[in-house]
Amino acid sequence: MAATGTMVAASADLSASVDANYTPDWKNYGTVDGTFYAAPLGANVKSFVWYSPKTFADNGWSIPTTWDELLALSDTVAATDVQPWCVGFGSGEATGWVGTDWMEDLMLRFQDAATYDKWVSNEMKFNDPKVAEVLSEAGKILKNPDYVGDVASIATTTFQDGGAGIVDGSCAMHRQASFIGGILAGDYGATIVTPADTDVEGGITTFYFPGVSADNKPALGGGEFVGAFSDRPEVQAVQLYLTSADWNNKKAALGTWFSAHLGLDTANVADPVNAVAVEILQNATTFRFDASDVMPAAVGAGSFWKEMTAWVAEDKSDKAVLDAIQASWPAN
């Protein structure tokens, strides 16, 4: 729409408001060829690890703040009768997308944002050593039977069932986006709680999926943007108001919605997981959209899903997986 001239460029006031109220990554996603068009609206976050505060408290486990601490915690849990991780890639024709989310989150942690962007566009090839490093790191959890049990079963376990173990205490951690809380509450009897609610049976909440260091805090997620098709003053006024702290706080107070607005007070976000999501977005060192959603469909909704599934179901090698995805990239 920007390329065809259907969408009009943002006003100077809107540009200044977004500069003041959002981290730069959000403005970049609303910019085309150097011209800013669309302002951020709502947001979602994928960089979560779900867990039971009661299970953690009963076992004396602490929340990890780095990747190495996360692996160390996994080792600690593995020495008990609780499985460290529960994972499910199953999603009908979309089976494998959970695996791509793991890769995307870890790409942001082990490589910088510029490298992530080159990977998304295929300027950096899928079988580049930097991507191979990330898949190897993912394998430290996803292909470790001490952490996940039967690795091959990940492919046939639905993503909904994948998180059920944290509700009944049979597993300790589950990496998934914010939406899974509603599914686990509605279908598996979970109660969404805060980290302080350590006495609630079936209570679940989240912690931030940690980076390589405690101050490395990238976030993976998504969001909506508001562009305009007219430069009439009233249209510009509405667009500008939607970037204000006043509108964002009033909107959040109505229910389950949240945004990346720096002026959004978490006191106005009733859902405790969404409140954590707001904190993640406001403190993120880098924010990026889901890579598979941006890649060509043949890859992002095709070979990437398929090969991540084969990686766990068939124990396909890292090299074979990455070579196959690269070979599927259009024009290759």
What are 85's strand-pairing partners? 173
Q: What percent of the chain has pLDDT over 70?
A: 100
Helices 304-313/97-110 angle, 10° precision: 100
Domains in the chain, CATH or no CATH each: 12-45+219-289 (3.40.190.10), 48-216+297-328 (3.40.190.10)
Confidence band, pLDDT 50/70/90 cuts, at residue 54: very high
**What is the SS3 assignment for 256-290?**
CCCCCCCCCCHHHCCCHHHHHHHHHHHHCCEEEEC
pLDDT tens track for 279-303? 999 998 899 999 999 999 999 999 9
- With tokens 């989240």, the residue in question is 206
Q: What mean pLDDT do residues 122-131 have?
A: 98
Specify the pLDDT at position 43: 95
The phi, psi pair for 208, rounded to 5°, reads -65, 130
Specify the pLDDT at position 221: 93
At residue 256, does pLDDT exceed 90? Answer: no
Left (φ > 0), alpha (ψ -120 to 50) or beta: where does 96 sit? left
Q: What mean pLDDT do residues 201-229 have?
A: 95
**Contact by Cβ (8 Å): 17, 237:** no
pLDDT tens track for 143-180? 999 999 999 999 999 999 999 999 999 999 999 999 99
pLDDT tens track for 264-281? 999 999 889 999 999 999
Specify the pLDDT at position 94: 97
At residue 51, does pLDDT exceed 80? Answer: yes
Specify the pLDDT at position 214: 93
Q: What mean pLDDT do residues 29-53 have?
A: 96
CA distance 98 to 78: 22
Burial class (CB in 10 A: 0-12, 13-18, 19+), 214: exposed
Helices 304-313/129-142 angle, 10° precision: 50
| pTM, two decimal places | 0.90
Specify the pLDDT at position 332: 60
Specify the pLDDT at position 2: 83
Q: What mean pLDDT do residues 205-209 have?
A: 96
Specify the pLDDT at position 270: 87
Specify the pLDDT at position 255: 86
**Contact by Cβ (8 Å): 61, 76:** yes
DSSP state of 2: T
What are 158's strand-pairing partners? 90
Q: What mean pLDDT do residues 59-70 have?
A: 98
**Helix (H) or strand (E) run with residue 147 in it:** helix 145-148
Where does 80-142 have alpha helices with state H?
97-110, 113-121, 129-142
